[in-house]
Structure 1
Amino acid sequence: MAEKGKKRKQDQARLAAVRVLYQVLEEGAFSNESAAYHLSGPGLDARDRAFASALIFGSLANLARIDYDLAQVSSRPPDKLDPWVRTILRMGIWRLFYSYQVTTAAACDESVHLARFLVGEKVTGFVNGIMRRLARQRPVLEGPGSQAIEAGLSPQLFDLLSAWYGPEAALALGEWSLQTPASVTIRANACRMEAFEKWSLSQEARNLSLEKRPWPPMSYSLVPSGNDLAATQAYRQGLYSLQSRAAMLVGHLSAVQPQDRNLDLCAAPGGKSGHLAELTGCQGSILACDLSPQRLALIDAMTERLGLDCIKTLVQDATKGQAEWEAAFDLVLCDVPCSGLGLLQKRPEIRWRVNPESIDRLLAIQQAILEKAGSYVAAAGHLLYTTCTINPRENEEQVEAFLASEAGRDFELCDLTGELETLLKGNLPPPMSSRLPACLCLLPHRDGTDGFFIARMKRRG
């Protein structure tokens, strides 16, 4: 990176945003992790963070159309451009066509100054030419795949979604995921409800527009407005956790009981383990496992913050068996690694990272985890299989294959319909899978939350 030749102080919010985009687009970073790092600096206030977040997630969500526009006016293919120039232009094009708070001249000028600061004077003419050409006239979107591109989907992802749910649903899902959510869902700590309710009357809660959500229990919403919700007084005191309504349903549909022996095989960062602990009043025991000490450190920090002393952690590869765990747990949760296609709104980079080959690699891992998990369930205990994807191959087909296998022969599928009717309180029809109707399958555009799959199986005995 050549930070030379700068003639004016750079806007820190734009600089942070372009650095996040570079890490995500050029280095394979995750948008949420990179944004959390770069937007946490003391030089950014709440308004700066809100602005930078809009730049980051707007550019990533609309990348398919942005790259189409860039390819139409550039004399060089976008993939042949200097990586920093490509990133600056992508953010600049989003400012040009999707931001309603900037003039055409300002969008062009910002891009040129960023290019001068990060790359050098030699590229400013090229960047200025691209931006001015687009400012004069945006290319007409036409040809094969144009509908998918307008909905923020790559042609390949559109084809996958269409094969699973039909073209109309694929476009609706893409369009829904382009929207910026107005609020963030939190889960109140059921073990500290008196303190949470007292906080709900505080100025901090009012500033964040705290509201109760109609479903599921203990769910509320906050409007961050650029504030870090993990830096509030209530969060530091363990009064709430950041968790989507879809993810909360995992705990509510787990059938967990006080005094149960629970195993969470893919636990980090710990939200679901924490919820299980809260639902039982920390009366049972939970063994939370993941691949590395670094990931377990996230769980340890969570349990300390929430005051949950019933969770223990252990480094464990969930695809590897543990003979001493055979039939030892009343509940085994496997929230397996997945393609994440239910999180397109939160993690827009998934749109171009998921392909049939990457999914195939996950299938074997999921199958191995599910088979090992089944062996750890005690008689009359429950096995919970969950993902944050809407891919039937990773969801219904995995469950069906397990139940038909030697490893799953002692299990029966539980019908979650009745429990969901109680949890949803008439606010939403039970979102059951059309392929495996006993299971939950949330679709973002239909149900207004993350895409999610939950299957619960009971061991006979």
Structure 2
Amino acid sequence: MQNARSTALKALYNIEKSGAYINIELKKCLDSAEISDADKRLATEICHGTVKYKINLDFYIKNASSIKINKISPYVKIILRMGVYQIKYMDKIPVSAAVNESVKLAKRYGGARSGGFVNAVLKKIANSEIEYPKDKAEFLSVKYSYPLELCEKFISDFGFDFAKDIMEKSLERPKIYIRVNTLKISVDEFLKILDGEGVEYEKSTLCADAVRVSKLGFLLKSKYFPDGLFYVQDLSSMLACKILAPKKGASVLDICAAPGGKSTYIAQLMQNDGEIYSSDIYEHKIKLISENAKRLGIDIIKPCISDATAENKAYFDKFDFVLADLPCSGLGIVNKKPEIKYSVTQNDISNLADMGLEILNNCAKYVKKGGTLVFSLCTFTKDEGEENVKKFLLQNKNFALKKIVLDIENDGFITFYPHIYGTDGFFTAKFIRID
């Protein structure tokens, strides 16, 4: 019989076994599960929490189990993680319910002995506290569930306290933003709709078109979505477009554009007047750009397939504005995609930084004289951001940094740290071609 916990277990097992993305795998399991909306919410909370705190949960299990954790069967290990998460992090679930439901699952997937083992381990965890490691990097790893290598890197780059604040913030629930499509409705008119529908909201102080909302599910099912009155978009993505500051009638290139959030906001800022080339390497993603543009009533976007790592001579000196929102480690969006932090290594960061610089150098060739190039990433590592700005300026003497017009002190680049600005972690720099 399906319920919230068995649905979460199925998703978690598939994520662990095949490295599937949590959002994709969970949606697949929820769509196929015949359970109530309340159970779907519970399954979602357990699934996300178990992934988010995996290293921390395993530390509890190691301290309470008579069997080494790598000897515990995959299903039972995941059931234990789910149980520990409910006991330690979900205040509304009684310990007895967390233990009893975990035991039922363990018996179903491992037999009576597994049920007894899970019962003993979870009861021991419920009645005791763990002592965190004294070493600073190990403490951060266990407390905030980040691989040790990343903890050491963050301490090296930012210092212990700053690294701690970044990791702590990444465990919070992500803020959900929508962008009001001012081509169809004003922000004030849309806020009146939200008031009428009883949707709680908060306007962003950094971007006038951005609104934080409480009931995204309701809005997506409402008529306002197909009517194109809003677009679901991260605040950081909107800010990159605001920083680009494209002018009406301009020519724009949006590199790595799918699914079209940035391109459509650029079009909105241009009042749907000008020309936007929205490029991506995958054909199915190009289709998403076209679909989103159509829903939002935008007709100046030209979706096109292009490999950003390959030089495109047809684009040389062609664009007034170029937005390079580049592939990166994604560590700035761990609160939305917690599985990211377990797979990123220093070697990955270095390789991605090299790729980013290669693409950025290509993009420089596409900017007209006097034109603008904005470089952005959904991460905050110095390797991928600040260091690449220095390398880019050394390799492109015809570009200079241009101060970003925001109420934030800057010299042409800003690292948005989540615990300071309340955004995703991201980096952006603005250049102008000066030759």
Question: What's the TM-score once normalised by structure 1's chain length?
Answer: 0.87
Q: Which amino acid aligns with 2:184?
A: R
In structure 2, do the counterparts of structure 1 residues 228 and 130 end up closer, same or farther at CA, with 3 Å as the change threshold? farther
What is the match of residue 234 of structure 2? 244
Q: Which amino acid aligns with 2:102?
A: S
In structure 2, do the counterparts of structure 1 residues 41 and 185 end up closer, same or farther at CA, with 3 Å as the change threshold? farther
Q: Does 1:411 align with 2:402?
A: no
Moved more, 294-303 or 274-283: 294-303
The answer to whether the 8 Å contact 2:412/2:431 transfers is: no
- Say which SS state the counterpart of residue 102 (structure 1) adopts: coil
The answer to whether the 8 Å contact 2:350/2:384 transfers is: no
Structure 1 distance, partners of 2:384, 2:370, is 26
The answer to whether the 8 Å contact 2:194/2:200 transfers is: no
Structure 2 distance, partners of 1:394, 1:200, is 38
Q: For residues 255-334 of structure 1, what are the structure 2 equivalents within 5 Å? A: 255-334=245-324
- Render the CA deviation track for 1:14-66: whole Å, top value 9, x for unaligned: 23322332333332222233334434458455433432232122222222211
What is the match of residue 152 of structure 1? 145
State the shift of 1:120 in Å: 5.2
From 138, 156, 169, the counterpart of 2:162: 169
The answer to whether the 8 Å contact 1:443/1:450 transfers is: yes
Q: Does 1:188 align with 2:150?
A: no
Structure 2 distance, partners of 1:273, 1:184, is 20
What is the match of residue 6 of structure 2? 15
From 335, 342, 346, the counterpart of 1:345: 335
From 222, 241, 244, the counterpart of 1:232: 222
What is the match of residue 417 of structure 2? 443
What is the match of residue 452 of structure 1? 426
What is the match of residue 126 of structure 1? 117
Structure 2 distance, partners of 1:372, 1:34, is 35
What is the match of residue 360 of structure 1? 350
In structure 2, do the counterparts of structure 1 residues 165 and 239 end up closer, same or farther at CA, with 3 Å as the change threshold? same
Structure 1 distance, partners of 2:195, 2:117, is 47
The answer to whether the 8 Å contact 1:157/1:352 transfers is: no
- Say which SS state the counterpart of residue 23 (structure 1) adopts: helix
The answer to whether the 8 Å contact 1:148/1:171 transfers is: no
The answer to whether the 8 Å contact 1:386/1:453 transfers is: yes
Structure 2 distance, partners of 1:458, 1:203, is 40
State the shift of 1:335 in Å: 0.7
The answer to whether the 8 Å contact 1:199/1:205 transfers is: no
State the shift of 1:205 in Å: 5.8
In structure 2, do the counterparts of structure 1 residues 370 and 47 end up closer, same or farther at CA, with 3 Å as the change threshold? same
The answer to whether the 8 Å contact 1:287/1:312 transfers is: yes
State the shift of 1:361 in Å: 2.2
Structure 2 distance, partners of 1:158, 1:236, is 43
The answer to whether the 8 Å contact 2:350/2:383 transfers is: no
Q: Which amino acid aligns with 2:86?
A: R
State the shift of 1:253 in Å: 0.7
Structure 1 distance, partners of 2:34, 2:2, is 12
What is the match of residue 204 of structure 2? 213
Q: Does 1:101 align with 2:64?
A: no
The answer to whether the 8 Å contact 1:390/1:443 transfers is: yes
Structure 2 distance, partners of 1:327, 1:159, is 43
Q: Which amino acid aligns with 2:326?
A: V
Q: Does 1:420 align with 2:394?
A: no
Q: For residues 387-406 of structure 1, what are the structure 2 equivalents within 5 Å? A: 387-405=377-395
Q: Which amino acid aligns with 2:180?
A: A
In structure 2, do the counterparts of structure 1 residues 122 and 314 end up closer, same or farther at CA, with 3 Å as the change threshold? farther
State the shift of 1:255 in Å: 2.6
- Say which SS state the counterpart of residue 126 (structure 2) adopts: helix
In structure 2, do the counterparts of structure 1 residues 120 and 381 end up closer, same or farther at CA, with 3 Å as the change threshold? farther
The answer to whether the 8 Å contact 1:431/1:441 transfers is: no
Structure 1 distance, partners of 2:12, 2:277, is 37
What is the match of residue 56 of structure 1? 47
Structure 2 distance, partners of 1:228, 1:17, is 23
State the shift of 1:411 in Å: 1.0
From 67, 74, 84, the counterpart of 2:58: 67
| Structure 1 gap ranges (5+) | 1-8, 422-429
Question: What's the TM-score once normalised by structure 2's chain length?
Answer: 0.92
From 127, 131, 141, the counterpart of 1:136: 127
The answer to whether the 8 Å contact 2:8/2:46 transfers is: yes
Structure 2 distance, partners of 1:31, 1:70, is 22
RMSD: 2.3
Say which structure, 1 or 2, has more relative contact order (CA 8 Å, 6+ apart).
1
- Say which SS state the counterpart of residue 79 (structure 2) adopts: helix
The answer to whether the 8 Å contact 1:382/1:459 transfers is: yes
> How many residue pairs get matched?
433
- Render the CA deviation track for 1:49-93: whole Å, top value 9, x for unaligned: 432232122222222211111122233332343222222221111
In structure 2, do the counterparts of structure 1 residues 205 and 378 end up closer, same or farther at CA, with 3 Å as the change threshold? farther
From 3, 26, 41, the counterpart of 2:17: 26
Q: Which amino acid aligns with 1:413?
A: L
In structure 2, do the counterparts of structure 1 residues 159 and 311 end up closer, same or farther at CA, with 3 Å as the change threshold? same
From 163, 175, 179, the counterpart of 2:172: 179
In structure 2, do the counterparts of structure 1 residues 208 and 46 end up closer, same or farther at CA, with 3 Å as the change threshold? farther
What is the match of residue 4 of structure 1? none
- Say which SS state the counterpart of residue 392 (structure 1) adopts: coil
State the shift of 1:199 in Å: 4.8
- Render the CA deviation track for 1:263-293: whole Å, top value 9, x for unaligned: 1111112211111011011111111111211
Q: Which amino acid aligns with 1:343?
A: I
